[in-house]
Structure formats: structure tokens, C-alpha cells
Copies of this chain bind each other. A is one copy, B any other.
Amino acid sequence: MRIAELSSRSGVAVPTIKYYLRERLLPPGELTSPNQASYGEQHLRRLRLIRALVDLGQVPIAQVREVLAAVDAETMPLHDRVGAVHRAVTPRPQLTASDAERAVAAAEVAALVESRGWAVDPDAPALATLVETIAVFRSLGQDHLVVPLDQYAAAVERFTELEVAAAASRHDPDQLAESVVIGTVLGQTLIAALRLLAQENASARLLGEATTRPGPAEPG
């Protein structure tokens, strides 16, 4: 198909497609004349993946390139591809807590990783983010919010077991890799949306009752 059809079928504007081609996020089409290229279904599929990462995953373009490289790295062991995606989608947190607060949080996170038996790279960016987040909760006087850390971790672990089992239902290694990569990025959006909904529900039940004064009964 020509670029105009690729645009109409994907819903992505032609200048945006050209930008992705220049940035090599999208492989070039097959030249059918000196200034005419033809695109296939794999371009359409790749374009949809890019839009999903950018629009829903809110992944910056530079990191999209790294995520796509992990999808395409057929000879790389799957666990290493997951690591590459993690590094791409986890920003190094800016350090705002004090060194002392960070040291306390780091010890707590080390104890958590130990008690849950998690095999994680000591340089994993998510580890630094977790440490900084806990330290910042404390620096804002919100110590009580991080008391149930181990229980938080257990609930998230359950979520992740479900995700990984779902991805692992694909047996073809390349399909599995694509599933793992897409699941890693978009699963973040999924868990965030589910959390806000569950929270709104909990808030309606617990906080609504706790803080609003009884008003006149409303008609059913």
C-alpha cells in the first residue's frame, strides 16, 4: 500500500509517518519508483504499536526506539529483552529526599526484596524509584502510608503473576517476546487505570461516609 493508505488505515497522519521513517522507528518501505514506496501489513502493525506506546504508554520517542529494539532483538534472551524495556520505560528519579531519608528507605527496600525473595538487579531503575518514593512519603510526613509496604508488594506480585502467566500462554518465542514487551508497557497504563477506579470506589464508600454530613434523604 502507499503511504496515504497506511495513514488512513492506521489513523496516523502522513507527516507523522514520515517522521517515524526518518527516526527509523518504522522500517523503510519497498521502493517501487525513485520517489514512491510501498508498505505492507507489518508496517501497519508496527505503526499501531508505536501509537500505543506513545499515546497510551506515554513513552517518549527516544525510549520507543529502545522498546522496539527489544521487540526485534530475536537473538537476545527474553529476560534480557524485559530488562531492556524496563530500563527504557523507567525514568531515573530526580533525587528530592535527603540523604538520611534515602538511606533509611534503601534499607527498608533491601529488607523487602530479601523477605519476598525477589531476584532483581541491584541497579534496576525501579529500585531507585521505589527508594526515592518511600523517602519522599516520609519527608512529606506521610510515614503511615508506607507502613504496609510488604502487603502492597504482595498485592502487586499477585497482579504480576497473572500478567506473566497470560503472556506465557503464547508459545512461539517471537510472539511471546512481543507480548511481554507490549504487556510491560501497556500493563502500566492498565494497572494505573484500575487503581484509580478501585480508589474512587473505596473513596465513595469510606471517605464519602466519613466526611460528609448527613443531608436530606434523596428520592430513590
A96:B140 contact, CB within 8 angstroms: no
In angstroms, Cα B194 to Cα A157, docked, is 8
Helix, strand, loop or mixed for chain A's interface?
helix
Give which listed residue, B121, B166, B190, contacts A200 with CB less than 8 A: B121
B194 and A152 contact, CB distance less than 8 A: yes
Number of copies of this chain that the complex holds: 2
> CA–CA, A162 to B152, complex, Å?
7
Residues on the B chain within 8 Å of A203, using CB: 78-79, 82-83, 164, 180
Instruction: A193 to B93: give the CA distance in the assembly, Å.
Output: 11
With beta carbons under 8 angstroms apart, the residue of B52, B121, B161, B210 that contacts A96 is B52
8 Å CB interface, A123-163 against B: 124, 126-127, 129-130, 132-134, 136-137, 139-142, 144-148, 151-153, 155-163
> Given known contacts A55-B96, A147-B166, what 9 new A-B pairs fall within 8 Å (CB)?
A56-B132, A78-B211, A79-B203, A129-B193, A152-B194, A155-B156, A164-B202, A168-B210, A176-B211
